[in-house]
Structure 1
Amino acid sequence: MTQPDMSFENAARAEGFLRIAGVDEVGRGPLAGPVMAAAVMLDPVRVPLGLNDSKVLCETRRSALVTELEGCAQIGLGTASVAEIDSHNILRASHIAMLRAVAALPEPPDFLLIDGNLLPRGLTLPARAVVKGDSRSVSIAAASIVAKIRRDYIMRDLAQHFPGYGWETNAGYPTKSHKAALTSLGVTPHHRRSFKPVHNILYQAKNPTP
């Protein structure tokens, strides 16, 4: 399995950039909850060991790495709400969250490494899009871990107010039990109405079969 390294960061430094932030988002696929982005600017001499795509790490390891990152890196967080997801689309909302995360960094970066194949509209900084960046760049990997931990926390909190959907374990993703709960319990204010399973349930409620 490919391990992320400093290749992209080193290439940017070779071009004269000093403050390089990795940017990633979490939460494009769920039926509920916001999309969360993180921007992480690592100290090149204090890079935590074991940074990788958040999806290949267990929760315990992710939490430990976030604690370590909070002590040695600069972190910015940004979200896009369910209303923004439904108003725009999930890709545009993800990019909005990324721009907010970059703006929330304690110090402004001068170069961005962004996960994916597209750069957000409205970006004013030099940047590079990196496909599968969370498994190739340590800065993007760090951002993926921070975003995952923070979004999971939000979903666990929402689960306390809207029990029955399993958000504390499924984080709003369309598991079988989550979709069954949608049918039996109905749609909450935190569900993405533009997503097909939620849209279909709302449509059926308005247009019951005779």
Structure 2
Amino acid sequence: MTQPQVLLVEDEPAIAELLRFTMQGAGFATTLAIDVQQARSQIAEALPHVVLLDWMLPDSSGLALLSELRRDPRTAALPVIMLTAKGMEEDKVRGLNEGADDYVTKPFSPKELVARVQALLRRKAPEVGSQALTYGAIMVDAERLQVSVAERPVALDQAEFKLLRFLVAHPERIFSRAQLLDKVWGDHTFIEERTVDVHIMRLRKSLGELSHYVQTVRGVGYKFSASGE
């Protein structure tokens, strides 16, 4: 199973180390930025699955960075949890109004933080969670790296597995080839868009009797649906 990527934006060493230890212990791959400039650079290089963002940073505010992220189409939907010592109700409202998905006040419970991150990813990026996903007669178990179609085990290669898991997590939604490249293989993956067609063709073959779940939307891309095309 691919580890969800967490970007920690925190300049206090003790808190940063606690965050790193907590998230790694929960199975998240973590990177650290100590200021807004570093955070911008790391996000430009590759999108994480979630950002834990401190309010007060040495070169700017986390709130300013959050505003930037929400204005950029590439990062507008990036899950962000604000971490701050500010506990006043108006500060929480301000952070949420700027687009924060959640808000945790220091000092925080590590278990609560992990639970909030996992809950956020279940809402906004279910394809990176550890829970089994089902849609129609298809089940994808990320923990065991197993797939079943109509209760029949099916062997998939890594690319097919990642593609199917993403599609099962987002049924009925239409994705372009470029979006599938970004979401399944990574934000900065340099693969030709026609490669997606090859993986789609292989996945359909592997799904056998349920190959019709992977539907082509002419001139747009693909969607995953149990209904007729």
Q: Give TM class, smaller chain.
A: under 0.3
Q: Which has the larger radius of gyration?
A: 2
TM superposition score normalised by structure 2:
0.24
TM superposition score normalised by structure 1:
0.26
Between 1 and 2, higher relative CO (CA 8 Å, sep ≥ 6) is seen in 1
